Amino acid sequence: LQDIRNTVGNIPMEWYQDFPHVGYNLDGKKIYKPIRNKDELDMFLEKMENPDYWRTVQDKMTGADIKLTDEQVDLVHRLQRGQFGDVHFDPYEPAVDFFTHEVMIHPVTNRPADKRSFIPSLIEKEKVSKLVHAIKMGWIKPRKPKDDTPTYYDLWAHEDPNSILGRHKMHVPAPKMKLPGHEESYNPPPEYLLSEEEKLAWEQQEPAERKLNFVPQQYRCLRAVPAYSRFIHERFERCLDLYLCPRQRKMRVRASPTPQQPPLARAARGRFHTGLCSLLSSLSPGPASPCPRPAGSDDCTVRFWEVCTARCMKTLPVGGVVKSVAWNPNPTICLVAICVEQSVLLVNPCLGDKLLYGATDQLLESYVVPEEERVQPVQWATATVEEHSKGVRLVVQHSKAVKQVTWHGKGDYFASVVSDNSNMQVLIHQTSKRWSQNPFRKSKGLVQCVLFHPIRPYFFVATQRYVRVYNLLKQELTKKLMTNCKWVSSMAIHPGGDNIICGSYDSKLAWFDLDLSTRPYQLLRHHKKALRSVAFHKHYPLFASGSDDGTVIVCHGMVYNDLLQNPLLVPVKVLKGHAITLDLGVLDVLFHPTQPWVFSSGADGTVRLYA
């Protein structure tokens, strides 16, 4: 079909050679030439690389490149050889004598020409005159211009026009200032005046923790009151409140502040540790879930507790402060990784199934020392006889203090985080080969925690403000998540692997949908103080967060199989019970692998189980 976009007519296209357009459309708008910024080198490369270059021609009417079809190429070849354009035309077919070759006396037809063949049609003249009159009167518009302005509809047109702010049902008024009280009087009552001890305590408090932002003073009369030194500062804060106030009402579900006292909480509320009970480990899944779970503390011990009876099965002195504990997620291996100062201890607690922990020892003893010694960033050492009797099997010596350890889902690899600012912060270790490596060449910031993806070969590294996702197979950075937090404290990944949550020291919990965006899908601000730990349940749609305000908040986090449906996040319960000690509350939270139970450890030296 013929391209009729250019209606310039049958004129030489050389006239438009120095113009950016090649003609005009039916509306009188310019048809611009396509961008052709190829030089001689580009033309030569295209000639060498494009196999269809020999059959590509330029349309002078539109300026576009057109690839000739096989039929058009055959037509060009026939015309170049001087043949007819139509393939089916036979120039040598016998002629048909429609009339006799003999000249006759009378012609076949001798009718005179019609008068209408040389006189303009009166009927067409009448139709054209009617159309011209209709156009002049405005009854017919030849080419009505298209209106590109969007059409808006008034949704509140039928409501009561006299109602105040009837069209803005979700209007939020500006915040009102707090009315002055007796303490702001120039001559307040004596009970509102501060003593010397109260003034000293007021000066030592943080500005955000003070009940009053000024010290009440007494004057004999109003004329003796001096100018208020914080007047401009408070006016400026008032202006910030006015223009930074959110004017959109959001329906937010508030969690009930009533704490839940579960049946098993009474059995698990004893003071188990003499120091800060810092971190809980993951529980062994599957049939090993009734087995003891370990808890590390500042009293230089790791204690193993039986979940059903809350009885301490074993106490392991480690000779240092325990920073992190992690149970091997492989159900066929009974092994616990413990961070103690500059070492990671791999401990077989010898509890539960005898065949299980016996097979674990056999697996560790089957290691064969390689012939060539390899240079490693850490030192692997076999436990001494005394340490072996306590359960310690291997000791991984680091150069600096280790603050976190986490296992891979298959149970052979584990990662450790070192308190350092160099590129040696994160190390990945392989237990079966006793081999360690440093996956990063450069330091991207102070690493807070790391995680392995439960399904894919991804590795999550959380710094103070970002979470970087690395592909271990391709050895490259996959994406960088913006947490919108000042300082990330903890991180947990959903069992499906497509969502993660991050807790921060500025009381925020960020939920990320990895398929949706690199920014948080939702920021939850349910806690009043810093978040220390977050955790997902492996089977139930639940996640929990522990904070320095002494509470554990359990939320419902439903992730749907439909990719078009966003996750549903609803706070369910606030669990209280931990006493705040040294301004620290809940230090770690963890879910049971099969039951809807949540464990929490606090600075008060207790481990609590909520069911």
What confidence tens digit (pLDDT) does each residue in 232-243 have? 988 898 888 787
| Domain shared by 397 and 501, yes or no | no
| Domain shared by 398 and 528, yes or no | no
| Domain shared by 435 and 519, yes or no | no
Q: Which of 420, 443, 466 is the last residue of a domain?
A: 443
| Domain shared by 419 and 507, yes or no | no
Instruction: Flag whether 529 is in a domain.
Output: yes
547: domain CATH number is: 2.130.10.10
Rounded distance between C-alpha atoms, residue 209 and residue 108, angstroms: 118
Q: How confident is the model at residue 5 (pLDDT cuts 50, 70, 90)?
A: low
Domain that holds residue 334: 274-363+376-443
Rounded distance between C-alpha atoms, residue 380 and residue 534, angstroms: 31
Instruction: Flag whether 341 is in a domain.
Output: yes
Rounded distance between C-alpha atoms, residue 534 and residue 483, angstroms: 15
Query: How many residues comprise the chain?
Result: 611
| Domain shared by 411 and 351, yes or no | yes
CA 569 distance to own-chain centroid: 15
Residues 6+ apart with CB under 8 A from 73: 55
If one counts the domains in the chain, the total is: 3
| Domain shared by 355 and 411, yes or no | yes
Residue 455 pLDDT exceeds 80: yes
Q: What is the pLDDT of residue 501?
A: 93
| Domain shared by 498 and 436, yes or no | no
Instruction: Flag whether 198 is in a domain.
Output: no
The predicted-structure confidence for 460-494, as pLDDT tens digits, reads as follows 999 988 999 999 888 889 999 998 888 899 999 99
For the residues 204-232, what does the mean pLDDT come to? 88
The answer to whether residues 584 and 572 touch, using CB atoms and an 8 Å cutoff, is no
Instruction: Flag whether 152 is in a domain.
Output: no
| Domain shared by 431 and 507, yes or no | no
Q: Which of 443, 477, 498 is the last residue of a domain?
A: 443
| Domain shared by 513 and 438, yes or no | no
Instruction: Flag whether 247 is in a domain.
Output: no
Q: For residue 348, how many other CB atoms are within 10 A of its CB?
A: 22
Q: What single DSSP character describes residue 19?
A: S
Q: Which of 47, 77, 107 is the last residue of a domain?
A: 77
| Domain shared by 524 and 402, yes or no | no
Instruction: Flag whether 243 is in a domain.
Output: no
The answer to whether residues 586 and 601 touch, using CB atoms and an 8 Å cutoff, is yes
Residue 81 pLDDT exceeds 70: yes
Alpha-carbon radius of gyration of the chain: 41
pTM summary value: 0.56
| Domain shared by 333 and 401, yes or no | yes
- Calculate the average pLDDT of the chain: 82
Q: What is the pLDDT of residue 590?
A: 92
| Domain shared by 503 and 399, yes or no | no
Q: What is the pLDDT of residue 40?
A: 85
Instruction: Flag whether 84 is in a domain.
Output: no
Instruction: Flag whether 132 is in a domain.
Output: no
Sign of the dihedral defined by the CA atoms of residues 160, 164, 167, 169, in that order = negative
